[in-house]
Structure 1
Amino acid sequence: MTRMAIFASGSGSNFQAIVDACRSGALDAVPALLICDKEDAIVVNRAKAEAVPSFVFTPKSYKNKKEFESEILLQLEKHKIDFLVLAGYMRLIGSTLLTAYKGKIVNIHPSLLPAFPGLDAIGQAISYGVKLTGVTIHFVDEGMDTGPIIAQKALEIEPNDTQETLQQKIHKIEHEYYPQTLQQIFSNKGEKIIR
């Protein structure tokens, strides 16, 4: 069974959805570790409640990214992690982790990439007045939301949608779609899953 480390920086609603899918048997994987870069993040409490071990670090207490990613790598090895799942982790992954987990790091992003990469994708979609947005799950490379796309799900933006209502709709899709897509990734080992 695939042992995942879930990387998150905030409330951890996608972390919770993934853990719930594992517990229910919908996702055939083990949420073996949480990696978090914010001590006061709600996701840390979620991990405690679910008895998922955590590694919480403060980036500023390290000289550079290579140093804290080397520390993360030691934790990943200690917990025998096979695959990295980014779920609201607000940092770019550096070469230390990209090299160690080549082709085994995925991210979820609240837009139809390549549209609206980076921060506040939902706000950007509202500001630009687009009629369609959605969710993208992609492999992680050194860029910001630039890795190969695995799966996308579109969502129509209604005329009366606000940033808040759109965010709720996107979260609902993410919470179902991310565990489903991870299950496909883990059950299609070696097969091409990009579609």
Structure 2
Amino acid sequence: MNIDSGKSLIFPKIDKLPSFKPKLRLGVLASGKGSNFEAIVKSTLDKKLDANIQCLIVNKKNCGAIEKAKHYKIPFHYLDHSSFKYREDLDNEIIRLLQIYDVEGIVMAGWMRIVSSVLINKYPERIINIHPSLLPSFKGKDALTQALDHGVTITGCTVHIVKEEVDAGPILIQSAIPIHKKDNENSLLKKIQEEEHKILSTGIALAAIKWRNIAKDNK
């Protein structure tokens, strides 16, 4: 793979996303600062992505995505994962909320929880995740640390369909970037997040093409 210094390589490269009528109805799960959540919202406002964000669900009170949801007037709900004895109980509550908002597809935008088969089976092929590595390399936690420790010269991010095996679902889109000798976790995180913001809406659209076709076939 040839990557010019300082530039990224996105595959597949798609210049214009397909339109969806009616618009996609998305639910977003987030645990962190909410930059990916905001990137999705902006892509809908800029009319790049034909979608409505129906709701945001967070599992941390101090999640930065909450303030962004307030700013964009998007409904949000806080679920304290520690108050649920089993992962399946949390996922059942997530399902209940998603059904209230008539969500058809889920985006895990920095959701730092492993989802159970309960949620996956309820929304088969309709849950996507963004991961800070070029999968299948460096699955799971601490992907940036893994990349730096292994001394690789290229890393990136991946949008993929969520399956029960962590970070093992079908890949939708990836962006590759070079790792420079001076890079550390902070500098690498910043560069990868920029790429995540670029490819996330495309990943959503690619997944939605499939699930909308499935819905047509089932009518």
**Shorter-chain-normalised TM-score: which range?**
over 0.9
2:38 to 16, 32, 38: 16
Number of equivalences: 191
Residues in 2 aligned to 1:186 and 1:109: alpha-carbon distance in whole angstroms:
19
Give CA-to-partner distance per residue, 1:52-72, whole Å, 9 cap, x none.
111211112122112221111
Give the AA of the match of 1:180: T
User: How far has the Cα of 1:181 moved from its partner?
Assistant: 2.4
In the other structure, the counterpart of 2:66 is 44
Q: Aligned pair 1:190/2:213, yes or no?
A: yes
Q: Distance between the aligned counterparts of 2:207 and 2:79, measured in 1? A: 29
Could you list the structure 1 runs, at least 4 aligned residues long, displaced by more than 6 angstroms after superposition: none
Q: CA RMSD in A?
A: 1.4
The structure with more radius of gyration: 2
More moved, 143-152 vs 23-32: 143-152
Q: Report Cα offsets for 1:86-111 as digits up to 9, x if no partner.
A: 11100111111111100101101010
2:55–2:101 CA contact under 8 A, matched in 1: yes
AA aligned opposite 1:126: L
User: Structure 2: which 5+ residue stretches go unaligned?
Assistant: 1-22, 215-219
State the Cα deviation string for residues 102-150 of structure 1 (Å, max 9, x = none). 0101101010111111112112111211011011111001121111111
CA contact (8 A) 2:132 2:158 kept: yes
TM-score, normalization by structure 1: 0.93
- Give the aligned partner of residue 151 of structure 1: 173
Once residues 6 and 107 of structure 1 are traced to their aligned partners in structure 2, the CA distance between those partners, rounded to angstroms, is 10
Question: What is the CA-CA distance between 1:190 and the residue it aligns to?
Answer: 2.9
Identify the residue that residue 64 of structure 1 maps to in structure 2. 86
Letter in 1 for 2:123: Y
Runs (5+) with no aligned partner, structure 1: none
Distance (whole Å) between structure 2 residues aligned to residue 63 and residue 162 of structure 1: 37
TM-score (norm 2): 0.83
C-alpha deviation, 1:27, in angstroms: 0.7
Distance 2:110 2:140 in 1: 11
Show the counterpart of 2:149.
Answer: 127
